[in-house]
Amino acid sequence: QFFVDISNLFNRRTLNFDGSVDGTDFNNYMRSLHLPESEFYSNIPGDDRPGAYRDYDIEYQPMRAITSIEDFSEGSPPDPGVIYYDRSTTQFIEVSGEGFAQVDGGRLSKVLDDKAYIDMPNQSYLTFLNPRDVFWGIRLQF
């Protein structure tokens, strides 16, 4: 007899939240999601849900929501590697020279489509459990 034993046939990926290094790892992941707009948290609005993920071969692009550009006049300088979402104007901006500039539309679309903004848990080998496994063999009976 020939046989094939397949577990998780459709390779369904379920995010494992036990792969967090510490309490901040899980919180950073949740804060990076673009959840639906709510009065209970100030985030970048979107349609993500807990369990959304970024492929590890896609480089991480941090994005943060700010109330307005005036947030930086209080002494905390902006980070040049971050894309900021200005909640007052609903625009994506980044540091450019001495000020801010709107993020290029093509680049922004790629970041959003690839979900490059999601801060994945640091222990990647624990992120997804139950991968697809295929076992095949030959059974001989005498």
Taken as a whole, the chain contains a residue count of 142
Please report the pLDDT score of residue 131 as a whole number.
81
Query: Residues 129-142: pLDDT tens digits?
Result: 778 899 999 989 88
* DSSP secondary structure string for all residues of 13-55: --B-GGG-SSHHHHHHHHHHS-PPPBTTB--------TT----
pTM of the full structure: 0.76
**Average pLDDT over the chain, rounded to whole?**
86
20 pLDDT band, cuts 50/70/90, is: low
Per-residue pLDDT at 33 exceeds 90: yes
Query: Residues 101-140: pLDDT tens digits?
Result: 899 999 999 999 999 999 988 777 777 777 889 999 998 9
Contact 68, 88 (CB under 8 A): yes
SS3 66: strand
56 pLDDT band, cuts 50/70/90, is: confident
